Structure 1
Amino acid sequence: MISLNEKNASQLEFQHVHNVYENIASHFSDTRQKPWPNVVKFINKAEPGSIILDVGCGNAKYFTSNSTNFQVGCDRSTQLAQICKSRNHQVFNCDCLQLPLRSNCIDFCINIAVLHHLSTSERRFKALNEIFRVLRKGGQALIYVWAKEQKRNETPSTYLKQKKAHIKNSSSVNDTISNHYHVEKIELDLPIHTNRSNFIHNDLLVPWKLNKNKLNDKDPVTHLRFYHVFEETELKSLCERISNCKIIEYYYDQGNWCIIFEKLLNT
């Protein structure tokens, strides 16, 4: 596990999360079209008139056509937010560490593949606590994070199964070109993960290969995204630190650790 102060953690995320998504937003959106079935199942539990918040909504692939509920999303990336707005979704820009919403106003919240981009345990806890804060009493949230375990009961995750397709497709995420990368300004060396392989480290950089010109596959740019991949009990332990938070379900889903929690009525 890496140890960073608040300033360095913020700088790492700025360089290797926020800036990266600004640069890859369009290509990222093109690769994120199919929603996870269990996330859709959770959203569909919402009763008519519910307010549903997607924290880190990306290209809004989890927005449904259900007009009986009000869906709103937020994302740190201005480019991804613009993609959402072009699809007529209600989305605003903010950091998940400080949601500009009043407490106790959201019925259902999802946070899918976001928390693992935060570089310290305390920042991850702070983001979870913000989600809990904005939930109404009795409201529920669903969180997905990448698992360090990408094979469970001898069955490889979707992430590992996609290896052959990604090797054939040179415009997608590519294998790493070196073992470590020195992060500027914070004097930190991080391992670079080999895409579509099992995780060895908890804190690492994952390459995203983006072509400057889609017609010229020989001129790619590789962006490195920071990830903290979660051990089996890690996400659950963070949620258990939140007062009056009831864990409804904790499960593994295709290479992700997932949790559903509820804000107790006596909060």
Structure 2
Amino acid sequence: MSALPSLTIEKDLQPSLQEEVYVHDVYNEIAPHFSQTRYKPWPIVETFLKNRPKYSIGLDVGCGNGKYLNVSEDLFIIGTDRSSGLIQCGQEISKNQYNLGIADGLSLPHPNNMFDFAISIAVIHHFANENRRVQAIQHILSKLKQKGQCLIYCWALEQENSRRGYKEGDEQDILIPWVLKKNQKKAVKKGNGKLHNDNCNDRKILGNDAKLDEDEEQDPPEETKYRYYHLYKKGEIAENALATKACKIVDQGYEKDNWWIIIEKI
């Protein structure tokens, strides 16, 4: 399966408008399809969560459909996401058992200095300039207790070995395509104004980041949506985190075309 070409972002757009058009609106449009491809925890995220002390209280900022909320029964995790469509998927998948809410990553409703840990997986790269990305990290840290730790994942610029092929020297601020399939239902508004779909649990339909069997036929694309990403180069997440002046670096590395970092509030 070949990747669709990426597009360069319109730099003259206001950052908040870029996020509204190329992040928030898009994820509501693709929520059911996107959710079907998000069900297997990444190893480092799973290890981080399972290494938290029993009965710790944590945040998943940008939780999507909530796939990390049930990794450990010994933790209490509150998940929030800006996409009401993905939150709806999480509610359906968990039969309303997850602790979910709709919130912007720069305006979390939680009390400050309250939580033992946080995770933010594939979220910070959606903020449309460096200042907002630093603010997002700082905002998460404000919710943690002193010495509370946070794990952050962001897409890497260095993806030479993936089908996307991004590499050093390429544009870092781009629009990434997501193809909606013909047989994929969109999230639609019911009479009560809530987003609803019938197939958030259906994992038979593969999304753009999943692998197809070589002999599997692909339906013609119905529609292509573009999401804003900032592709992080090596060391850049650490620079953003340290710019908050509120944390120290515990560990960092590279996994599955992503840079990740664990930081601790000081």
| TM-score, length of structure 2 as denominator length | 0.78
Partner residue, 1:147: 156
How far is the alpha carbon of 1:68 from its aligned partner? Answer: 2.7
Q: Which amino acid aligns with 1:90?
A: N
Tell me whether 1:202 sits opposite 2:187 in the alignment: no
Partner residue, 1:238: 240
Q: Which amino acid aligns with 1:60?
A: G
Mapped to 1, the partners of 2:49 and 2:124 lie a distance apart of 19
Question: CA, structure 1 residues 201+252, in 2 after alignment: closer, same or farther (shift >3 Å)?
Answer: same
Partner residue, 2:27: 21
Q: Which amino acid aligns with 1:206?
A: I
Which string of whole-angstrom CA distances, capped at 9 and with x for unpartnered residues, describes residues 29-49 of structure 1? 111111110000001111112
Mapped to 1, the partners of 2:231 and 2:261 lie a distance apart of 15
Tell me whether 1:84 sits opposite 2:84 in the alignment: no
Partner of 1:22: helix, strand, or coil? helix
Q: Would you say the 8 A contact 2:182–2:220 is kept in 1? A: no
How far is the alpha carbon of 1:219 from its aligned partner? Answer: 5.3
Q: Would you say the 8 A contact 1:111–1:142 is kept in 2? A: yes
Q: Would you say the 8 A contact 2:253–2:259 is kept in 1? A: yes
Question: CA, structure 1 residues 40+235, in 2 after alignment: closer, same or farther (shift >3 Å)?
Answer: same
Tell me whether 1:98 sits opposite 2:107 in the alignment: yes
How far is the alpha carbon of 1:218 from its aligned partner? Answer: 3.4
Among the aligned pairs, what percent are the same residue? 40
Q: How does 1:213-228 map onto structure 2 within 5 Å? A: 213-214=183-184, 217-218=219-220, 220-228=222-230
Q: Which amino acid aligns with 2:178?
A: W
Mapped to 1, the partners of 2:234 and 2:137 lie a distance apart of 17
Which string of whole-angstrom CA distances, capped at 9 and with x for unpartnered residues, describes residues 106-163 of structure 1? 1110000001111100000110001110011111000000110014xxxx2xxx1xx4
Q: Would you say the 8 A contact 2:57–2:75 is kept in 1? A: yes
Mapped to 1, the partners of 2:29 and 2:149 lie a distance apart of 33
Question: CA, structure 1 residues 78+2, in 2 after alignment: closer, same or farther (shift >3 Å)?
Answer: closer
Q: How does 1:150-161 map onto structure 2 within 5 Å? A: 150-151=159-160, 156=161, 160=162
Mapped to 1, the partners of 2:71 and 2:152 lie a distance apart of 22
Of 35, 57, 63 in structure 2, the residue corresponding to residue 57 of structure 1 is 63
Alignment RMSD:
2.1
Which runs of 5 or more residues in structure 1 are unaligned? 164-195
Q: Which amino acid aligns with 1:23?
A: E
| TM-score, length of structure 1 as denominator length | 0.78
Q: Which amino acid aligns with 2:165?
A: S
Q: Which amino acid aligns with 1:241?
A: A
Partner of 1:205: helix, strand, or coil? strand
Mapped to 2, the partners of 1:92 and 1:3 lie a distance apart of 31
Question: CA, structure 1 residues 107+23, in 2 after alignment: closer, same or farther (shift >3 Å)?
Answer: same
Partner of 2:177: helix, strand, or coil? strand
Which runs of 5 or more residues in structure 2 are unaligned? 1-7, 186-217
Partner of 2:14: helix, strand, or coil? helix
How far is the alpha carbon of 1:61 from its aligned partner? Answer: 1.1
User: Greater CA deviation, 60-69 or 115-124?
Assistant: 60-69
**Structure 1 segments of 4+ aligned residues over 6 angstroms from their partners:** none
Which string of whole-angstrom CA distances, capped at 9 and with x for unpartnered residues, describes residues 2-35 of structure 1? 7968x71111111111111001000101111111
How far is the alpha carbon of 1:244 from its aligned partner? Answer: 3.6
Mapped to 1, the partners of 2:166 and 2:245 lie a distance apart of 34
